[in-house]
Amino acid sequence: MTDGMLLREAMNDPNLEPKKRSDLKIIVVSATLDALKFQKYFGFRSEQTAPLFKVLGRTYPVNVFYTQEPERDYVEAAIHTVLMIHRAEDPGDILLFLTGEEEIEEVCRKIKTEADEISNSDSSVGPLTCIPLYSSLPPQQQQRIFDPPPPPRTPDGPPGRKIVVSTNIAETSLTIDGIVYVVDPGFSTQKFYNPRIRAESLLVSPISKASAQQRAGRAGRTRPGKCFRLYTEKDFMRELEEQTHPEILRSNLSNTVLGLVKLGIKDLVHFDWVDVPAPETLMRALELLNYLAAIDDNGNLTPLGSIMAEFPLDPQLSKMLIVSPEFKCSNEILTITAMLSESYDKSWAWNNYVAQRSLVQAQNVRNQLQRVMERFEIELLSLDDEKELYQNIRKTLVCGFFMHVAHKEGERSNYVTVKDHQVVGLHPSCGLDTQPEWVIFNEFVLTTHPFIRTVSEVRPEWLLEYAPLYYDLSSFPNGEAKSALQRF
């Protein structure tokens, strides 16, 4: 049984009576666990701390090398280091850690080009194969990391070498035979939640010491290896955190809070968290659930909130799904929700917005959500009038995402989010051929500029009609958005 299945059962039976037994043992297994923290947490009701077992795998020594000075451009430094290893080190494959898909694909192209030039000009250097690895790659392409290195160009020529360029999924999830060298720039992409603007963003951040040790350990699985860290030893000792910042401290907790309230836990401040979230994050989660009518003003679960908690979705999506039959578009909203719940990769744009793997996964999500809808007798409806159907779909989106609205202001193409007053632009991938006055968005993206993504045009009167509590003009912040709403 997985933790997700157990939590689903606990929603209906908080005491888990059918599973109650006196000899229950819980084993927490992790390769990067902060053991002392969890020993203390699970042993707090007894006089003894929880026992700790360390199972040491078979590893070989790994020599770790640091740079003398900080690198200005870790990407260029990584390429240089990989090519240096390929030219000068003994046979063995290379694992390079980078932060994301675009970076990985670009580096693979550069390494391949430069490695081919080296091999053509120097017969003592063997061929090199560069293989990308990130989560959105199709499974058959991910399997390429287990392929053997390329053979020598000639029977007596130098052996080939394989380099795997990966995100941090290669830290602990798998072991790649043949890896002898690890190149670690010291960065990864992490999700951070800003409760003040209610936005989650993916940011490139320094890794922790625990992650650095995991990365180095990848080089010593099958034989002695080497790890080249592209930062100084001083930075490793003084700048890196001991452990990766817990995800619960940098995530939107609205779905977590809804689940806790469903379990009968209302005192979130004194709840026995392993890592205590910031009060502002909890307050924002409660505020969102209240505006969505999932909880009342006293923090009690409403009948609507009880159904919302049964869906494995963000509360905005579950609210949207539940109210969709009122607009006779629940069949379409179910598909939209499944697509929004399933991440997609950029091959969509390269293949006419079609990605077979994403479509299959979205279909599986749709089937799962449909079973929950059938359990609560939520009808699947559609309209024959296409114009009315599309309008009703956007009205339904407003019912769930009324807090994700931006208003176009000024002559330039900038938008300002309502209430939070964040200046944002439409992401290039949003697909709109015009710039409507009012838009609703699914995602706030912080890259070179704050962007909103997955955008639809909405009408201001819908905001006043379907979210009157949030758009109460008597308490609405002054600005162009309020003036525009007052005209309706």
Distance of alpha carbon 332 from alpha carbon 345, whole angstroms: 22
Distance of alpha carbon 466 from alpha carbon 464, whole angstroms: 6
In a shared domain, residues 318 and 181 = no
As a whole number of Å, the end-to-end CA separation of the chain is 53
Lowest mean pLDDT among 160-164, 251-255, 257-261, 424-428: 424-428
User: How many angstroms separate the Cα of 96 from the Cα of each of 57, 164, 379?
Assistant: 23, 6, 50
Are residues 129 and 162 in contact, defined by beta-carbon separation less than 8 angstroms?
yes
Domain count, the chain: 3
Distance of alpha carbon 151 from alpha carbon 128, whole angstroms: 9
Confirm whether 348 is domain-assigned. yes
Locate tokens 């080190």: which residue?
89
In a shared domain, residues 236 and 265 = no
In a shared domain, residues 391 and 436 = no
Task: Give me the mean pLDDT over the 74-93 stretch.
Answer: 97
In a shared domain, residues 185 and 301 = no
Would you state the pLDDT for residue 343? 57
In a shared domain, residues 225 and 81 = yes
Confirm whether 18 is domain-assigned. no
pLDDT digits (tens, 9 = 90+) for 169-211: 999 767 888 999 999 999 999 988 888 877 777 889 999 999 9
Confirm whether 321 is domain-assigned. yes
Confidence band of 53 (pLDDT split at 50, 70, 90): confident
pLDDT digits (tens, 9 = 90+) for 216-236: 999 988 899 999 999 999 999
Residue 372: CB atoms within 10 A of its CB come to 16
Q: Of 384, 399, 414, at which residue does a domain stop? A: 399
pLDDT digits (tens, 9 = 90+) for 408-433: 987 777 899 998 889 999 988 887 88
Would you state the pLDDT for residue 177? 87
Would you state the pLDDT for residue 444? 86
Would you state the pLDDT for residue 47? 67
In a shared domain, residues 136 and 210 = yes
Confidence band of 348 (pLDDT split at 50, 70, 90): very low
In a shared domain, residues 72 and 163 = yes
In a shared domain, residues 189 and 322 = no
In a shared domain, residues 307 and 214 = no
pLDDT digits (tens, 9 = 90+) for 271-301: 999 999 999 999 999 999 999 999 999 999 9
In a shared domain, residues 409 and 364 = no
442 alpha-carbon distance from chain centroid: 14
pLDDT digits (tens, 9 = 90+) for 122-154: 889 999 999 999 988 888 899 999 999 999 988
Would you state the pLDDT for residue 18? 76
Q: Of 369, 399, 429, at which residue does a domain stop? A: 399
DSSP letters of 225-247? EEEEESS-HHHHHHTS-SSPPPG
Query: Would you state the torsion angle of the CA atoms of residues 15, 21, 23, 27, taken in this order, to the nearest 10 degrees?
Result: -40
pLDDT digits (tens, 9 = 90+) for 27-40: 888 776 788 888 88
Is pTM beyond 0.95 here?
Answer: no
Task: Kindly report the CATH number assigned to the domain that includes residue 186.
Answer: 3.40.50.300
In a shared domain, residues 219 and 291 = no
Structure tokens of 202? Answer: 């993916």
Domain that holds residue 330: 249-399
Mean pLDDT in the chain? 89
For 362, how many CA atoms within 13 A lie in the half-sphere containing its CB? 19
Are residues 274 and 37 in contact, defined by beta-carbon separation less than 8 angstroms?
yes
Q: Which amino acid is at 187?
A: F
Are residues 79 and 111 in contact, defined by beta-carbon separation less than 8 angstroms?
yes
Q: Of 215, 245, 275, at which residue does a domain stop? A: 245
Would you state the pLDDT for residue 350? 46
Query: Would you state the torsion angle of the CA atoms of residues 355, 358, 363, 367, taken in this order, to the nearest 10 degrees?
Result: 180
In a shared domain, residues 317 and 277 = yes
